[in-house]
Amino acid sequence: MKLLGVFLGIFVSLNCLSQELSGLLLDQTKTRLGREFYETFSSLWEFPPGSEFNITVSELTDPRTGTQIYIYVDDILVYGTLLRPRGEELEEKAEEAVEVILRYLLLKQEEEKALGHTFL
C-alpha cells in the first residue's frame, strides 16, 4: 500500500511538472536516420511566442521498410511518415512535418478561440 502511495506521488509530481514545462522539443528517436530527421526538423521548427505545448519526435524502426517517424503535440499524434533507409526525402519530410504541425496549431487555436479557451 505504501508503494502505491509513493507511485501516485511520483505520478502526480511528474504530471504537474509536465504541465509547468512547455515549449520543449523532445527527441525520442533511436537511429541515425531518426536523429537526422529530428535535427532537420528542429532546425526548421520555431515555437510561436507564448507556446504552452511540447512536441515529441519519436520513431519506430523496421529494417525492411525503413523508419516510421511520429510527431506528437503534447499527447496528440499530429504527423506520421515513413522514411526509406537511405533517407533521400528527409528534408522534404521535415518541411512537410513543420507545415502539418503549424496547420494543426492554427486549427486548434481557432477551435479554442470559438470555445473560449487558450492553447498557444
pLDDT higher than 60, residue 61: yes
Question: For residue 15, is it within any domain?
Answer: no
Report the DSSP pairing between strands 25-28 and 55-62.
Answer: parallel
Rounded to the nearest integer, the mean pLDDT of the chain is: 84
CA distance 15 to 4: 16
Report the DSSP pairing between strands 55-62 and 76-83.
Answer: unpaired
Q: Where are the beta strands (DSSP E) in 36-118?
A: 55-62, 66-73, 76-83
Confidence of residue 117 (pLDDT cuts 50, 70, 90): low
CA 88 to centroid of chain Cα atoms = 22
Confidence of residue 72 (pLDDT cuts 50, 70, 90): very high
For residue 100, give the H/E element and its range: helix 90-115
97 and 41 Cβ atoms separated by less than 8 Å: yes
Question: For residue 73, is it within any domain?
Answer: yes
Question: For residue 8, is it within any domain?
Answer: no
59 and 28 Cβ atoms separated by less than 8 Å: yes
Question: For residue 6, is it within any domain?
Answer: no
Question: For residue 17, is it within any domain?
Answer: no
Confidence of residue 120 (pLDDT cuts 50, 70, 90): low
More confident site: 28 or 10: 28
Q: Which domain holds residue 74?
A: 23-115
- In this predicted model, what pLDDT tens digit does every residue of 76-96 receive, in sequence order? 999 999 998 887 899 999 999
Q: Any idea what the Cα angle at residue 106 is, between residues 104 and 110, rounded to 5°?
A: 115
CA distance 105 to 56: 15
Question: For residue 13, is it within any domain?
Answer: no
**CATH number of the domain to which 65 belongs:** 3.30.160
Question: For residue 12, is it within any domain?
Answer: no
- Total number of domains in the chain: 1
More confident site: 15 or 97: 97
